[in-house]
Structure 1
Amino acid sequence: MILIYVPVFSERIKYTFSFIFEKILGISFRLTNCSNNFIYESSPKFSYSFSSLKNEIHFSSCNLLFETDIKSQNLIEILNDPFATTFFLLSRYEEYLPYQEDIHHRFSYKASLVKGKIDPLIPWIDTFAFDLFNQLKKKFPSLVYKNRKFTFINTIDIDHAWLYKNKFWFKNFKSLGKKGLTFRWKDFYHQILVLSGLKLDPYFIYPYIKHLNIPTFYFISFGLGGRWDTNHHPKNIAYRKLICQLYNQDYSTIGLHPSYESNKDFTILKMEKLALEKLLQQKISFSRQHFIKLHLPNTYYNLINLNISADFSMGFQDHIGFRAGTCTPFYWFDLKNNKISELKIYPFCVMDVTLKNYMKLSIEEAENKILNLLDSVKKVNGTFISIFHNDSLSNYGEWELWRNVYEKLIFKANDLQIYPQNH
């Protein structure tokens, strides 16, 4: 048990200290605002306030954790206060302030206030938590933390289940015509062979994933289609059969991959969730936003209203690393209402599209980046969550040889933990 002196209790303080001590270190703590009780307490303790009390381990605070509103902050003051930094990162405070949106109206690493100040490739909060423990242990040798195990969570987004198969004939006719007009004869004949059943569709990688025998989350696109939603139609019989097969597969869990348009229309989001639940005859409680279209707080309000209990969208689309500064799943703090919510956030730290299309990395560079990222998570025994798509694992077209990147990750993460399923 650690005693922490704070001049005033607040929801932000409880949330921040709970995450650091209980969620990461597995140590219980108690808050007090009574200076006399604190001074004469002999157990492990420290103070978090504007000034120290009496020769104790002391952390000087800025105002952030004692406030209840949302406003522009002095970033220098926050970065000099590791607990305020923790809350600033976890709550995604900067995403409630004005920022420059990207082409898809998203927050990006490029727009982050802490870009160049906090290394996104390191789980900053987890690293600070263990540094804090080591500092406290020097004065209180009896202090121990609860060991946790490194966990790898394999997630696959299915934006289009097949490249050629099970599509309306006109789409395939148009695709073949385009290949012929541009003299892409190799791709032309490959598509013919797939459509005639002589070759497997390159995006049909599901037996390969099943053979790996690792827990896998499949996030399913189930919208009606559009410019940025190229999934098979929800009424497509083959698509529906595939989703049911994946659901009934060992070690697999199905989550919703809400369509691009659903992010700004709650009615669409609700329709997609209900349709997927009706198909599987099972409640869907996991989600990840298509295109990582995460707009706070509205996206999370919509998910909560639909009884989604966990979301996997917390990460940058344009850079690998830790958007919320941690590799530990956490409950979302609702800044507008100044309270903790029941929505659990599972932060991912690497996505295939980020590596290839945004960061423009070669296969070898991508492998090195992933392995370094993996090592940083293992150092704090955190949770490593990756995003790959079935097309990026196809080894076909623009994704030729990119399965090697995925397999390097799987091999390195050889101490996989069986993640509890939700069937």
Structure 2
Amino acid sequence: MTAKLTFQDLTFYEMPDHVRIALLKHFYIEIEKELLKEGIGTYNIPDPHTIEFEGVMQEQAERKFYQILGKHIDELKSIKGRNTATYVHKNSGIPLMGCLSFGIADKGTTLLEIKPITGCNMGCIFCSVDEGIGTRKTHEFVVEKDYLVQEVNKLLDYKKHQGMVIYINSHGEPFLYADMVGLVADLKKNKWISEIHIITNGTYLTPELCSQLDKAGLTHLNISVSGFDAEKAKEVMGSTAYNIEKVKEIITYLTKHTKIEVIITPVVMFGINEREMGKIIVWAKQIGVKKVCIQNFLMNRRGRNPAKELDWEKFKEFLHQLEQEHSMKLLFDLKLEKTKEYPKPFKRGEVVQAEIGTQGRYKTEYIAVAQQRCITLPKVVQKGDNPLKKGERISVMITKSNHNIFVGEIVHKRGRK
């Protein structure tokens, strides 16, 4: 009698004294071999996505395996950088609204941002959220696809507004998310959605992946290209591994072989890469890219700030000059309509009862949970070696409350449930 457990999102690796289980390619936990043998039975890994147990019934093996997995899921780590990580799934007790780092961000318009994952493979010198190479962040998030789609569908059914535009705009590189094609395909089924954009640096794109995204229903790829010459491109992307020629090749492929509309989205930093903008525009026109949307670099308290901001009037003058030189529209008005938002359960200054849900992105940061919302606690001061635990009850004063994004500070600890 052999129980066979096969998974799409899990990959098994035999290690000397433990089994490494990768979740969605980029995250993993490690379980001691003896724990699997004693807890379930003698095991075998016939292929990377399957584990078999001898002498145990199928239902029993599944139940025990999920119990072991559940006990270890809080030990999840990111393969890239080895940061600790949280898997946000429908049974995790962590809502998808309230936190800017992951989940859903709704500002009450026809544009809805969703963030299935954190982390990045580049180290862009202009990154406003300090992601990727050299980041000070110590914790990552990855969201279960079905949970994310479920909550997006609920929100859009509440809004009841046609022509919704979805921006898959992670804090980092969204194509670190292993099930991106499935996410796009599921979102495309929603009757309220008219466009799906992915904001990316383009480094993970391949012809095969682009074709899959095209078939899944992706409408736009917003690709960041902030340097045209090889050395300048590496400088602004903060990585010697960045290959601008490969990114150019995949953009050319997209324009010739898919229905996906490419929008090239450079970030201009005056004194660093303003001379690259004209080169990018000329090349974009040559390969048939219809839209180049140049973004003004903006300083951020926790971001990387290699240059000063240019005031908006001077920035517009810069774009007008480029428009005249290259006969291409570069100034755009984002036409958004107002839509219904979920009611905000908290107001600024209010004290609410909450529980610790998980570690936040930084060492001093935690995510609390209350009334189906996350509350970011950015500066948690702890005494001694007694960190806050998941499920610990606390009183939180709301310090920021904006479009169902909440920030707070602990005013009283109440112990565990």
Greater relative contact order, per chain length (Cα 8 Å cut-off, separation 6+): 1
| Higher helix content, 1 or 2 | 1
TM-score by length of structure 2 reads 0.30
| Higher strand content, 1 or 2 | 2
